[in-house]
Amino acid sequence: MEIRELTKEIRDRSIEYAKPKDLDNLSASWYQEDLLYSGKGKTIFLILPTPGCSWALGPSGGCTMCSYISDCYLKPIETSKIIELFEMELGKWDFAEDYKNGEKIAIKLFASGSFLNPEELPKEARNYILQRLADLDEISEIVVESRPEYVKKEIIDEIFEIIGDKLFEISIGLETSNEETRLNKINKGFNNKSFERAIDTIKQSKESYDIKSKAYIFVKPILLSESEAIEEAIETASYCESIGVDRVSCCPATIHRGTLIERLWRRGSYNPPWIWSTVEVINRIRENVNIPALMDTSGFGSRRGPYNCKKCNKELKHKIIDSNFDQSQIEHDCNCKSEWIAEVKFSNLNRSKTQTKHLPLY
């Protein structure tokens, strides 16, 4: 498969030329307002050091838009070191004072891959982290990420044996409900049945535990027009609701280094979505589905991220952030909107009816 070969080639080259990593610099964290299941609160976002995503490190080369592997250690890490860096990041934030003042506190743990995969995050480190959080009355919600193949009943049982009655969310990068796009444009490596099995496992576990699911929706994969990307994201949200996903988070494309999406972008064959497109997506999702829908604004207004014009990039970004809290419709206007409308309306006008077999890379 050409897409997989290209992704693997680019990934291997990126890893080959990557500078050696200082393990002590691979953890990070920040603390900010966020929408929790209990309402508006605050969240600790904490990046754990890991060897890297198994899917990206394997023969597949990983996903066409993701470069998180470039920020990973690429070698096994001692459990004691992961714990040390976790404690260092957790200790940076005075969330206890916010809790005393009535704030609800959550933590989101990022492993640059799958938190539930013991080859990426050793079970001993996972259990220590969960026990540490279980002992903190201030933390009411724990959010992790995983590919669907690691979502198993026995793992969920192990987790709740440690965390008790805390809320636990598993976020899965579905990206799209369109299997052709997910396989041949994102190179995700799993089908809808695999995703549905993971969601069913979570739903069945709700009888015993306070467990939730979230799906990430990728806005504008490669080889989709602006209008196609909008419609596919909206359709994906409806699909997620229909199978019992608890909430969705839309992630508009940004150009990561060392990825296939960057190679296409550099050759003029791809652009990230308009910010107007993300507004259209989130507004229509909120009109059509009854589960919470979030829109990530990372990279908005930057050279490698979603864009409109210099006049409205920043203001619209802040409107989107505000709307995530109350799930409201976003209203805005700017002269650049007419240009976006024209692109959406006519982006498929001269599109070939022949199925794409080769990517424009040579």
Per-residue pLDDT, averaged over 14-25, amounts to 86
Give the per-residue pLDDT at 358: 54
Angle between the 337-346 and 275-288 helix axes, to the nearest 10 degrees? 70
Whether 357 maps to a domain, the answer reads: no
Give the per-residue pLDDT at 350: 60
Expressed as residue numbers, the domain containing 300 is 2-346
Share of the chain above pLDDT 70, in %: 96
Whether 280 maps to a domain, the answer reads: yes
> Which three-class secondary structure state does DSSP give residue 163?
helix
Please say if the pLDDT value at position 90 is more than 90. yes
Whether 243 maps to a domain, the answer reads: yes
Whether 354 maps to a domain, the answer reads: no
User: Which has the higher per-residue pLDDT, 114 or 70?
Assistant: 114
Distance CA 262, CA 67 (A): 10
pLDDT range class, residue 362, cuts 50, 70, 90: very low
Structure tokens at 254: 């940004």
Whether 356 maps to a domain, the answer reads: no
Whether 332 maps to a domain, the answer reads: yes
> Which three-class secondary structure state does DSSP give residue 15?
helix
CATH number for the domain harbouring residue 126: 3.20.20
Give the per-residue pLDDT at 348: 75
Distance CA 265, CA 167 (A): 40
C-beta separation of 141 from 169 below 8 A:
yes
Whether 352 maps to a domain, the answer reads: no
Whether 353 maps to a domain, the answer reads: no
C-beta separation of 235 from 180 below 8 A:
no
Q: Which residues of 57-80 are buried (b: 16+ CB within 10 A; e: fewer)?
A: beebbbbbbbbbbbbbbbeebebe
Share of the chain above pLDDT 90, in %: 89
Q: What is the number of domains present in the chain?
A: 1
The mean-pLDDT minimum among 50-59, 251-260, 299-308, 347-356 falls in: 347-356
> Which three-class secondary structure state does DSSP give residue 118?
coil
Which H or E element spans position 176?
none
